[in-house]
């Protein structure tokens, strides 16, 4: 027997899932940042009609939206990690000594917040990273799909983290047994 009896699903499995969600969220933030930087650099270097494509309103707006989404998911990541750190620290202290009622309330509050933020982080970070890497390919134009550019690989990597939508699941076909 590993752990306490009758706590397997709730405590241990959900803890593992939330740890995985935090990891996926952090990796998604990293992919989004890298894709934004690739697009930004390309938009500065690539010239069309005698000026960098970054100076065109459509490209500039796309880059601005990519930056805003990247900053948003990074903020959710930091807040999620902060909540987890606080409740884990109090939990660790509770194993060494009895905690005060105020500390117990703080533990419950931050544990609830972490339980709310963690799936939210995974959802938004993976979806936004997918959008940002796709937009990075769009900034690169048709050549963005070529293996010469890192944004192509980043987009494929993001697809691993994105959850399928219910529509995708309902239209998926099971392989035939024949």
Round to whole Å and give the CA distance between 37 and 45: 12
pLDDT at res. 178: 45
Round to whole Å and give the CA distance between 20 and 82: 16
pLDDT at res. 159: 77
Token pair belonging to 161: 């983290």
Strand partners, 47: 52
Q: Which residues of 155-170 are buried (b: 16+ CB within 10 A; e: fewer)?
A: bebbeebbeeeeeeee
pLDDT at 15 over 80: no
pLDDT at 3 over 70: no
Strand partners, 51: 48
Token pair belonging to 138: 């769009």
pLDDT at 9 over 70: no
pLDDT at res. 169: 46
Angstrom CA distances, 122 to 16, 31, 32, 67, 134, stand at 14, 13, 13, 18, 18
pLDDT tens-place string over residues 22-60: 888 999 999 999 999 999 999 999 989 999 999 999 999
pLDDT tens-place string over residues 57-86: 999 999 999 999 999 999 999 999 999 999
- pLDDT tier at 109 (50, 70, 90 boundaries)? very high
């Amino acid at each position: 027997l590993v752990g306490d009896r009758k706590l397997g699903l709730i405590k241990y499995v959900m803890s593992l899932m939330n740890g995985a969600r935090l990891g996926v969220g952090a990796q998604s933030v990293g992919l989004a940042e890298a894709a934004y930087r690739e697009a930004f650099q390309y938009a500065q270097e690539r010239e069309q009609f005698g000026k960098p494509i970054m100076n065109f309103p459509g490209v500039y707006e796309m880059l601005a939206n990519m930056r805003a989404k990247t900053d948003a998911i990074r903020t959710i990541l930091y807040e999620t990690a902060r909540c987890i750190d606080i409740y884990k620290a109090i939990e660790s202290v509770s194993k060494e000594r009895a905690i005060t009622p105020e500390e117990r309330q703080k533990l419950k509050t931050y544990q609830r917040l972490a339980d709310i933020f963690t799936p939210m982080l995974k959802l938004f970070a993976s979806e936004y990273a997918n959008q940002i890497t796709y937009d990075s390919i769009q900034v690169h134009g048709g050549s963005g799909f070529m293996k010469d550019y890192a944004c192509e690989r980043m987009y494929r990597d993001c697809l691993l983290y994105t959850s399928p939508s219910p529509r995708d699941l309902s239209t998926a076909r099971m392989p035939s047994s024949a």
